Amino acid sequence: MRTIRYHQIADELRVRVSSGEYAAGRLMPSESELSVEFAVSRVTVRKALEVLRDECLVNARQGFGWFVAGETVRQPLARLATIEDQMRASGMKPERRVLEFAFEKAPRDVARSLGTSQALRVRRVNLADGEPFAIVTVWCPAELGQDLSRADVERSPFYELLDIPFSGATQTIGADAATAEEAKLLEVPSGSPVLRCTRTTTDTNGNVVLVSHHVFPAHRTEFVVDLPFADQSIAPSGLRLVE
């Protein structure tokens, strides 16, 4: 019996997914690249990928293309915690790869929040099961981070390293497109949708002790907010329009 070509391609791609060659959350080669590899039309490749999508093995999203289906990295916003805590609770393995570690003059907006111009800046890539899921830049006052090393911040979050009582944090989240550098680090196409988050963390005296910027690939990340019912309200608490 003659085997339909797109079924053969689906079988080959299924093996790559099940073997881990294409890891969960990873972007797959584009339809154009696969059509060249298998010497078929993009229509044939798309039909093969649609077979795998029906099996919940892959998915597609505008701006990304096709990617291997996997558990989304979720972070509840009802309490102060790291997204890595949520990953561990879901059975995922978090890792940190520090890109930059420097004591330097902070950007003006960060210096204004921290109340000092001299800061420790740490830039890193966070990984989930070996796949990048966030670019994080954290600033803290230089005097608070003076005893920290590159190895310290690669191993543990600032919440564990700084010997101060934390009170809470304010986090803002917006949608944007990945720059070329961000796309390379996150292993997504340039211009792909990302979530940009800014978090300011305060101590029990109300002083801002951490400012952090986060960039998440939108296809892998969800932020979950519990909204208590409030009378005489037509919008979620904290929602505002950006001018």
Question: pLDDT at position 68, please?
Answer: 80
- Nearest Cα neighbor of 77 from 161, 173, 153 is 173
The reply to whether domains 5-68 and 73-224 share a CATH topology is: no
Q: Which residues contact 37 (CB under 8 A, 6 or more apart)?
A: 29
Task: State both tokens at 136.
Answer: 């994080």
Q: Domain ranges in the chain?
A: 5-68, 73-224
Q: Which letter, b or e, does each residue of 201-211 get, where b requires 16 or more Cβ atoms within 10 Å of its Cβ? A: bbbeeeebbbb
Task: State pTM to two decimals.
Answer: 0.71
- State pLDDT tens for residues 109-146: 999 999 999 999 999 999 888 888 899 999 999 999 99
What phi and psi values does residue 67 have, to the nearest 5 degrees?
A: -145, 160
- State pLDDT tens for residues 132-189: 889 999 999 999 999 999 999 999 889 889 989 998 888 898 888 889 999 899 988 7
Would you say how long the chain is, in residues? Answer: 243
Fold adopted by 5-68: Arc Repressor Mutant, subunit A (1.10.10)
Q: Which CATH architecture has domain 73-224?
A: 3-Layer(aba) Sandwich (3.40)
- State pLDDT tens for residues 32-41: 999 999 999 9
